[in-house]
Structure 1
Amino acid sequence: MTAVAIIQARLSSTRLPGKVLLPLGGRPVLDWVVTAAQAIAGIDKVVIATSGQGDDDAIAAWAKAAGVACHRGPLDDVLERFAQAARAERADIVMRLTADCPLLDPRVCGEVLALLKRSGGAYASNVTPASWPDGLDCEAFTMAALESAAAEATRAADREHVTVFIRDRRHRFAQSSLVCPLPGLQSERWTLDEPADLAFLEALVEHLPERPSYLDVLAALDARPELRAINARIIRNEGFAKSLAKESLPTWNGAVTSTALLARAEKVIPLGSQTFSKSRLQYPADSPMFLTHGLGGKVWDVDGNSYVDMVCGLLPVVLGYQDPDVDTAIRNQLANGISFSLATTLETELAERLVDLIPCAESVRFGKNGTDATSAAIRLARAFTGRDRVAVCGYHGWQDWYIGSTTRNKGVPEAVRGLTGTFAYNNLDSARQLFKEHPGEMAALIMEPMNAVDPAPGYLAELKELAHAHGALLVFDEVITGFRYHLGGAQTLFGVTPDLASFGKSMGNGMPISAVMGRADVMHEMEEVFISGTFGGEALSLAASIATIDKMKREPVIDRLWQTGGHLATEVAKLAALHGLSEVFSLVGRAPWMILAVQDHAKARKEAIKTLFAREMLRAGVLFLASHNVCYAHDGADVARVLTAWDVALAKVAEELATGRLEERLPCPAVMPVFKVR
């Protein structure tokens, strides 16, 4: 099996022309890369792939003088250039290297190559996730994967950047990643793109051995940290970002694989999903039903479509996918274990953080999802008060005590349903009526302190007074609002402290963890009330939550959520007005979590309108359910893509409404809500 390292090189760089033949430490940059490549264990041959343009004659001449094979092909279609070179060398495995990485480490590359061979997959790299310094990039893939990409890729960015087509299709091409064992190195920049990079490298190589490893480079920089400032301002993968920015809309690859996988899944899984809101019930037909991976604020489906993710796992992904701090915490804990026979100190460390941040928290217990936390709060309230009835407002999970009060109450005994009463948000008289109808029977009033609208002035405080006047506890369901509106939750934002509160979703950046917390005297009931689970102290989620909360305290995470969500809301309102749809589309709620409100139109039901809108958003590269669930990783390009998608989708809705036949022409059945709570 022949493994060939192919180094892509050209002289027509716009930011630093001729960079790969510039002198560095007395020899051309390209020589550094070739020398490193030739030392990679398992590589049979090293070749250069440059363009057939006259600009690159100098590269071909250098290669000939150095005794290195050089293959020439298209300038911009680098994918085809690689394929031609690999065919000419009869490669079975290709390692992709770039000529602007003079500090390439042969040992790291050798590990990537070994990972590909031993995994039996189609692709391996040290670039996903980006845990290594920028400048140590290497990718290895099979010739079969390269040939598939060369034959099928049509997007300009895929042709220019060689491996994107393969990387985006993880369901089709099995992949492995070599993660850096040292934390925090993803912010290091050791590559050559701009004059500042050259200045940095020139200053650095004076202190390096002839063939440095990445540890040699790191040691030199740690001894001279001021060197890092020379090129610190430059953005990683800026060239790829610019390629994507040229695309007005992403290419839609369809949902053929998703559709086939859904049919397979539904043979063994009801609805083919573990969650109603992630199932076919909530998405238009021919929508993506299965995702393969996420990075930052984006996700990819099994058909290779990429999306800006405005669902974010139904709100848990608050920092973004593959957040380096959270992932490092998980990996470090994984080295120690996952679930143990006794408690770990992680439980105390996280509980102490929550007590410090959240006004009502004097004592804390953990669960795995929001339903665990809300149900624990209700059981505690019943034990503490000796009463059975509860008043609810909002969505509180799937347990009998709550779901029995909704239209999804199948399977819940009538006797249990009768113990729960609902009251209207911002309507104090509605809550008063429940207490009046059941005097001395209410254990708790549980509510989302905010969802689509703000609480009226004094409303939350008056509800607390009402509950206490009748001997009931006030419980805030902050599964959504916690760690999204404020580090201390909505109770801090609105200045009203409940007796108990449930938190979840954002507190673990996607890991399954929730918490019930509150007054010490109420929480003391936990010593007798049986609320106990094998995985309540599962250590990976605890470590992730600690890392998430610490990052939120250290960086302007929640400020960014407010800014991003607010900007989107402002621009969406402008787009709705532009398309004459302000009376149909609006966003309600607060900036970190704004809910889509769609109204009936004279010529179509709101459900049909929303279905068409969601379908068009998906095809424009935005995964959208019913709200803007922004995360810290959503950047300017993501926001621009979301707004472009809104523009396209609103235009389509306006066009179809103008025909007077939107519902008739809708290419799929209208999506209906699971049930209405807000």
Structure 2
Amino acid sequence: MPNIPAVRSFERSRELQATLHHLIPGGAHTYSRGSDQYPEFMAPVLTHGQGCHVWDVDGNEYIEYGMGLRSVTLGHGFQPVVEAVCSTIAGGVNFSRPTTLELDAAEDFLDLVPAADMVKFAKNGSDVTTAAVRLARAVTGRIKIAACHQPFFSTDDWFIGTTEMSSGIPGFSRGATAGFRYNDLDSLAEVLASDDVACVILEAATSTTEPEPGYLEGVRRLCDEHGALLIIDEMITGFRWSEHGAQGVYGIRPDLSCWGKAMGNGFPLSALAGKREYMELGGLRTDRERVFLLSTTHGPERGSLAAFRAVVEEYAHNDPIARMEHAGRLLVDGVQAAVCEEGLADYVQLAGRPSCLTYITRDSDKTPSQAYRTLFLQELLKRGVLGQSFVTSAAHTDADIEQTVAAVRGALPLYRRAIECGSVEGLLEGRPVAPAVRQYAAPRRIESPTASTQTSPPG
């Protein structure tokens, strides 16, 4: 269990965070890792991790949830993956020609994804989703994209232009993407009615929402009727819902699918997979005009491919998804019991698949609230839980879940006090967290923040 000191200091983390902001725009390489996503004076700078535990520069230990933005399912420093990577890179990492490891990894991947005939590896999700969109445009001769109203698909213009952070993106790029609502076939049919859409892109399921009966089949049918390619984003669902992805769970066959995150247990690897008739347009065996699909120096580097093959081996023999879901179900049971006992069932709620849980925090009007979310985060951090979500891994043990539930129990009395007062003022030690993707940087502050380099011991 994490070491919970009488007083938990964040002094060194605060010093280093200031330096990070001086050297790195935003102080982090991913917006959702930014200090604005954590309580103002409690944004830990980490040093290392093992399993589901991490340590910061002040010596604090935490049980971590979210696990590297859902990229780690087996646990930090998972030994079979580490050993596979180390033994592989001892023989070189990157060469001027393909290696046998690329062939082996491609065969492993395609064995898991029956709807795909070919695969191309890359390094991040944005690269492969954008490659899929480009390929769909080439196949259909159309420009318009139908993108589901879901949190995130790409850093590239076709998607970011639809968000609040659209500065620097030409208007024609913003106008080329139309949105539709999840679980609403009429919404998609309206976008497709003009027959000028190259592709439909969506996650088959999200952290909080499952597809309604017949929905995905309806999406597939509409794509076929209107000549649009169907792209399934498996960044989160792949290796978390199933090693076969959400498409395997729900029985949907996309034209193209995009993978990343957990396929390398944290190592940088993504994949574009799809039907041969489309993927070959990015190759050398086509009479049609070629598509510049993906051409990356580091896409086939051997360390990440070795990590991927070790992940596949673990999934084949030890069922990490069952362990993730077991931990998630225990967490749901324990947290819901604690919330009900405190009379807060209408204010703190869990949602999502057991392996991909999120929590919803509401204010005294029962409206989702960033300020109340920050208060909850603050109190969890004091008690040794680092969790923007409750996304589990196969490394979360029953003891870790027990400790987490105890931390939630410790956090709830202050949350109830805020509900009774109708405000977090005087209880929240800084400004509320802000949406990661927003137009302006300055986050909203509460009127009278209280600041200190140390927090009170758990009550």
Helix, strand or coil for the counterpart of 2:69?
A: coil
Letter of the aligned partner of 1:614 in structure 2? L
Match of 1:636 among 385, 398, 401: 398
For the pair 1:401 / 2:162, whether they are aligned, the reply is: no
Q: Name the residue aligned to 1:522.
A: 278
Q: Deviations over 1:463-511 (max 9, x none)?
A: 0100111000111000000001111111111111111111110000110
Note the alpha carbon deviations across 1:419-454, whole angstroms, 9 max, x for none.
001111111111111112xx2210100001101111
Which residue of the other structure, out of 217, 226, 230, is the alignment partner of 1:474? 230
Equivalent positions of 1:574-589 (< 5 A) are 574-589=337-352
Q: For the residues of structure 2 that align with 1:635 and 1:444, how far apart are their CA atoms?
A: 42
One-letter code aligned to 1:432 = A
Which residues of 2 match residues 354-503 of structure 1 at below 5 A?
354-393=109-148, 394=150, 395-436=152-193, 439-451=194-206, 452-503=208-259
Q: CA deviation at 1:576?
A: 1.4
Match of 1:353? 108
Pairing 1:44-59 to 2, within 5 Å after superposition? none
Q: Distance in 2 between matches of 1:576 and 1:374?
A: 39
> Whole-Å Cα distance in 2 between the matches of residues 407 and 391 of structure 1?
18
Q: In the alignment, is residue 324 of structure 1 matched against residue 103 of structure 2?
A: no
Question: Equivalents in 2 of 1:445, 1:604: separation in Å?
Answer: 32
Counterpart check, 1:254 vs 2:9: yes
SS at match of 1:590: coil
- Aligned counterparts of 1:650 and 1:464: Cα–Cα separation in 2: 44
What whole-Å deviation, never above 9, does each CA across 1:50-92 have from its counterpart, x for those lacking one? xxxxxxxxxxxxxxxxxxxxxxxxxxxxxxxxxxxxxxxxxxx
- 1:538 paired with 2:286, answer no
How far apart in 1 are the matches of 2:187 and 2:344? 33
Aligned equivalents of 1:428, 1:675: Cα separation in 2: 27
Structure 2: distance between partners of 1:603 and 1:561: 30
Residue identity matched to 1:572: V
Secondary structure at 2:324 match in 1: helix
Displacement of 1:399 in angstroms is 1.1
Pair 1:308-2:59 in alignment: no
Task: Output aligned runs, 1:528-567, within 5 Å.
Answer: 528-530=290-292, 531-567=294-330
Counterparts of 1:608 and 1:408 in 2: how far apart (Å)?
22
2:347–2:366 Cα contact (<8 Å) kept: no
Q: What TM-score comes out, normalization by structure 2 length?
A: 0.90
Q: Helix, strand or coil: the match of 2:67? A: coil
Question: Paired residue for 1:649?
Answer: 411
Give, as a single letter, the amino acid of the residue that structure 1 aligns with 2:247: Q
Which residue among 262, 269, 283 is the counterpart of 1:506? 262
What is the letter of the counterpart of residue 599 of structure 1?
Answer: R
Measure the CA separation in 1 of the matches of 2:239 and 2:367.
Answer: 38
Amino acid at match of 1:273: A
Report what 1:335 is aligned to: 90
The reply on whether 1:670 has 2:425 as its aligned counterpart is: no
- Residue by residue, what CA displacement relative to the aligned partner does 1:638-665 show, whole Å, maximum 9, x if unpaired? 1111111111122221123223342354
- Per the alignment, residue 296 of structure 1 pairs with 51
What fraction of aligned residue pairs are identical, expressed as a percent? 39
User: Could you list the per-position Cα deviations for residues 376-430 of structure 1 after superposition, in whole angstroms to 9, with x for gaps in the alignment?
Assistant: 1111111111111111112212111111111121211111000001111111111
SS in 2 for 1:287: coil
Q: Residue 165 of structure 1 aligns with which residue?
A: none
Deviation at 1:311, TM superposition (A): 2.0
- Corresponding residue SS for 1:313: helix
Which residue matches 1:274? Answer: 29
Indicate if the aligned counterparts of 1:445 and 1:474 stay in contact, CA closer than 8 A: yes
CA apart distance, 1:300: 0.3
Tell me, in whole angstroms, the C-alpha distance in 2 between the residues paired with 1:486 and 1:346: 23
Residue type of the partner of 1:421?
A
Letter in 1 for 2:163: T
Distance (Å, rounded) in 2 between the aligned partners of 1:341 and 1:628: 42
SS of aligned partner of 1:293: strand
CA distance in 2, matches of 1:345, 1:252: 53
Give the 3 Å change call, closer, same or farther, for CA 251–493 of structure 1 in structure 2.
farther
RCO greater where, 1 or 2, for CA within 8 Å and sep 6 or more?
A: 2
Q: Which amino acid aligns with 1:504?
A: G
Contact map agreement 2:230 2:255 (CA 8 A) in 1: yes
1:93 aligns with none
Contact persistence 1:362–1:517 (CA under 8 A):
yes
Please show how residues 207-222 of structure 1 align to structure 2 within 5 Å.
none
- Which residue number corresponds to residue 91 of structure 1? none
Aligned residues: 428
1:145-294 matched pairs, under 5 angstroms:
244=1, 249-294=4-49
Q: Does structure 1 conserve the Cα–Cα contact (< 8 Å) formed by 2:200 and 2:223?
A: yes
The code of the aligned residue for 2:431 comes to P
CA contact (8 A) 1:507 1:545 kept: yes
Q: Does 1:596 align with 2:359?
A: yes
Q: In structure 2, give the amino acid aligned to 1:401.
A: W
**Aligned 8 A contact 2:360 2:368 in 1:** no
Q: Post-superposition shift, 1:359?
A: 2.6
In the alignment, the residues of structure 2 paired with residue 675 and residue 632 of structure 1 have an alpha-carbon distance, to the nearest angstrom, of 30
Q: Is the 8 A contact 2:364 2:422 kept in 1?
A: no
Structure number with larger C-alpha Rg:
1
Gaps of 5+ in 2: 284-289, 439-459
- 1:612 aligns to what? 375
Q: In the alignment, is the contact (CA less than 8 A) between 1:613 and 1:653 conserved in 2?
A: yes
Measured after TM superposition, the shift of residue 516 of structure 1 is: 0.7
Change (3 A) 1:502 1:591: same
Residue 192 of structure 1 corresponds to none
Mark the CA change 1:252 to 1:288 in structure 2 (over 3 Å): closer, same or farther: farther
Match of 2:451 in 1: none
Between the aligned partners of 1:573 and 1:668, the Cα distance in structure 2 is 28
Per the TM alignment, residue 266 of structure 1 is displaced from its structure 2 partner at its CA by: 1.4
